[in-house]
Structure 1
Amino acid sequence: MHEGHLTRGAQAERTGAIVVFYHPDDACVARANRLAVKTRCVVIDNTPGQYAVAGLDPSVHYVPNGENVGVATALNQGVAALREMGCAHALLFDQDSEPQDQLIEQLPIVLAGLLARGECVALVAPAYDDARLGGVAPFVRFRPFSLKRVAASGTSPIDVDFVITSGSCIALDCWADVGPMDDALFIDFVDLEWCIRAKRAGYRLLGVPWITMAHELGGEPVRIFGRPYPMHSPLRHYYLFRNAVALFGRAYVPWSWKSTEMVKFPVRLMIYLFLPSERSQHLRMAFRGMWDGLCGRLGSFADLHGRQRGK
């Protein structure tokens, strides 16, 4: 037990957490403060016009952008801050993420152990538990026209092709090889695109099935033929369709993923047409996103079109 305690302490010194804020409430601040008790914590605040947050612990390294510069840029800022602090690992979280102590303490230990054995690993990630969508989600691998879903079970890390950002633990030594998150994507598919580049650079991505994190994917789900389907705002659907189309044109993105997304496109449009409220806005923003993706217009919707709709 003493040796394990030393291991946790050593990894805590080498690990930091990044949380991206956007109009945070008191619960978001409390979650960041709890993280700061366990590890170094960097908060990047994308709230427009905000340059201070009440109640944030002084130990938190707070970076207010004063505007929404996007998730990709915020994560890049956080990584830069942790690297300057000498950290080797970065835990990435959304502002509403609720990581348990097991994740905060054990994921960096799992990653460090793999690296110590000479494994070429870019990140490790927990299994995600969204009660609204049926519980613990499987890990995924790319296959033509569909995703292969691998049950999050067992006592060995599982090779995956993609994980969501929140809850993952990145080995910062790989940052120079893989490169930063793609600022131009702004939000949506930022994590996927980075994972693709990491694998292309020869790194493994591993799911850790015995560590879970409660995480809600998207807004309130709708039910389709009895199955829950995560929904987003019209603005998020703009980014989703735009960035998918933009990635279709990138040669390094595997055809297996492209084919799966092409299958999903008409299904998503039918869902937007018949199910959600504000269906016209969902469809309009989806088609605008596809057009901007085809035209190579990336970055913030507000910068491109002068206003935001459907937040």
Structure 2
Amino acid sequence: MIRTLRYTFSMLLCLLTTVGVQAQINKSQYKPPVSLDSSKRKQQLLTHDSLPVTDTAIRKLPADTAPRTAIRDTTHHGAAARDTVHNKKPVLTAADSMVMVPAGLRIGLDISRFVVKFFQPYRTDINIAADIRWKPDLYLAMEAGFNNTSHSDSNYTYKGRGEFISIGVDKNFLKRNNPLEKHMFYGGARYGFAHMSYEIPTYTIYSNYWSANGDNIKGSYPRTSANVHWIELLLGFKAEILQNFFMGWSIHERIMINDVAGSAFPPLVIPGYGTGNKKSQFDMQYTISYVIPLYKIAVPKFPKKKADKKKQIPRR
């Protein structure tokens, strides 16, 4: 019995001695965890981030810093992606700055010719004006008409008639604040052509110088055909007073190309031009017109703004 107790006590003593030795060995090999000092922690993180990503580097990282680094990087990239989505500006195309508006053929009548008829009863003129919108500020324009002149007095008798046409382009200078506005302040140029015929059935020259017997000289000028060409510059304004209904005025300066005014017997009136004995003619017209909508055209939504000119600094 005593021998058994001795043997048991010896075994317990050996076991305790072995445990104590192993504890001393582990204590000598123990390394403390990463310091809680923020500056040292940042330095350690920067050192580990700069290392290449290998299995050895991952194993050497502290257990608590690896997941925190992964979470930090994921959050950073996610925020950058969200910022890119929210801060991205929409790209405007040319179609977004344009709007389709009705356009068509505008036909008008020059009512100022009736005023001319009041002051010059011997002539009858009919002028029809038309234009069609080609581009937002450009119009293809045309005028056409005819003239009939019949004059008689104690000096001569005159008869003439003819037709004319003028073709050109009008440019609108008015800046629209609304793309649906149709008012116009415009300038234009035309080429005009008239074909006419005229004659002087009788004329009388009252002069004793040209007659040996002191009698008056009488004669006639045969029927003559003439073609007249001219260039025309104009400036005018058109306002829409009702839907598609316009009223406007324009001033015209016409310059004759061929020399009809210098002939022996120039025509009294040239259709579409004016007085036949002048190489240049000033005229004013007053027109009422109506637009027939036929199609649509793309115009800018907003008026064009002049680009700010940057001051250039001279080089020294």
TM-score scaled by length of structure 1: 0.18
Q: Give the structure with the higher percent strand.
A: 2
Between Structure 1 and Structure 2, the one with more helix by share is 1
